[in-house]
Structure 1
Amino acid sequence: MAAESTGGSVLIIGASRGLGHAMATEFLDRGWQVVGTVRGTGRTLLHELADENPGRVEIACLDIMAPQQMAALHDRFASRRFDILFVNAGTANKHQDETIADVSTEEFVEVMVTNALGPMRVIEALQDLVTVTGLIGVMSSGQGSVGNNEKGGREIYRASKAALNQCMRSYAARHAGERRALLLMAPGWIRTDLGGPDARFSMEETVPDIVDVVIGKQGKPGLEYLDRFGEVVVW
C-alpha cells in the first residue's frame, strides 16, 4: 500500500531514466512537487513527464562530477528548501564478472567515482537545500553489504557500494545530533539498464515500495540502511 502523500517537494539527482525517472513519476502520483536532474541537454523521459504535468516538474542539468554545474544548481534553488534530496547515481564495470585482479585501474576508478565520490559530493554541495527536518537519501545496493557477501561476484560494483555506505556513515557521524533523516536504500535486483533484463523484479512492483520507505523514514533522524520493505540491511 502506498504511503500517504505529504504533498512535499523532492529533488531527485539522476531522474532522466530508470529508477530515478520511476521515482519521479511515483512522487508525482502522490501529489509531490518534483525537481529532477539530467546529465545532458537532449530530451529525456523526464521532459515527457514534465510536459504531462505542467507546473509540477522542474528539470535541471547536472553532471555530478562537474563542480561548476553543482554550484549552478545550488544557486538556482538557493532560496528554496526541499523535504527530500535523493541521489540516484550508479554504474558498473562493463564486464561485471571481472575480479579485482582483472579490472583496469581506469575502469575501477570510474566506478568508484560515480558510485561513491560523486553522490557524496552532491550531498555535501546541496545539503543546505534540504529542510532541517528533511531527508537525504542515496541509492545504494544490497551488494554493498560486507556482512552479507558470502558468495562474491560483481566485485567492483560491490566495492563501490560498500565505499558509498562507509562514506555515508562517516557523513552521519559528522552530523550526529541533527534532525535530518539519512537513508541508504537497497532496492533489490531490478530490471533496469544497470540491473539487466534477467533481474528478478520490475520497476513497477518495486518503486512504490522504495518511495514508501523514503517517505516513511521522514522525521526519523539518523542513518539507516534499508531494503525496499523497510527492513534493515546488514552493514
Structure 2
Amino acid sequence: MDLPIDVFSAAFLIALLKIIWVNILLSGDNAVVIALAARNLAPDQQKRAIIFGSGAAIVLRVVLTLFAVQLLQLPWLKLLGAAALLWIGIQLLADNDDDADVKASSSVWVAIRTILIADLVMSLDNVIAVAAAANSAPENVRVLLLVIGLGLSIPLIIFGSTLLLKLMERFPAIITVGAALLGFVAGEMATTDAAVHDWFETHMHGLDYAVSITGAVFVVAIGLLLARRGKSGPA
C-alpha cells in the first residue's frame, strides 16, 4: 500500500543520509564564521550567540533550500554574495577585541546579525547540494527531508563553533585561517555565478582554484592591514 509520505522507503532513507552527509561536509565554514563572530563576547554571551545564531541560520537555510534552484539561476547573485563574504571576512579579521566588554549587551545581537548575514551568503552554495540530495527522493517527501536533514545539522554547527572558540583562545592563528577560509569560499562562489561561469569555463578553465586562493589572500592582507592601523591609531 502506498502511503502519502513513506518515511521508511529506501529512497527516503538514502536521501536523508545524503543530506546529513552534505551538512557534515558543508557546516565547517558556517562553524568558522559563528566562532569568529562570537569570539569577543563573554562566555555566557558566546553560548547565547551560538545557539540563536545557529538556530536562525538553519531556519534561513531551510527557506533558501526550498527556493535554491530558482535563486541560483539568477545572474550576479553569487557575485554579490561573494563581495559581501569578502567584506565580512575582512571585518572579522580586522576586529579589535580591546573594547570587547564595553558594549557587552548589544554585542550579542551584533554577533548574531553577522552570523546571519554570513550564513545567508555561504548557504547559497550549500543549499543547492542539499536540494540535489533531496531530489533523489519522491517529490511528496522532499520538504520533510529538508526540514529533518537540516534540523539535524544544528548540533553539528553548534558543536563545531564551540570547539573552534576554545581552540581560538589557545591558538589565535586560527582566526586568520578562518578569515582566509571565508575569502576562499567567496572566490569559489564568484566563479560559479551564472553571469560569468561560462566565460570562466571557456577562457579561464582551470583557474577557479587560483581565484579562490586570491580571495583568501585578499581577505587576510586587507584584514591584517586594517587591524594594524587600528592598533597604531589614536587611542
Fold shared per TM-score above 0.5: no
Normalized per residue, which structure has more helix? 2
Normalized per residue, which structure has more strand? 1
Structure with more relative contact order (C-alpha pairs < 8 Å, separation 6 or more) = 2
Q: TM-score, normalised by structure 1?
A: 0.24
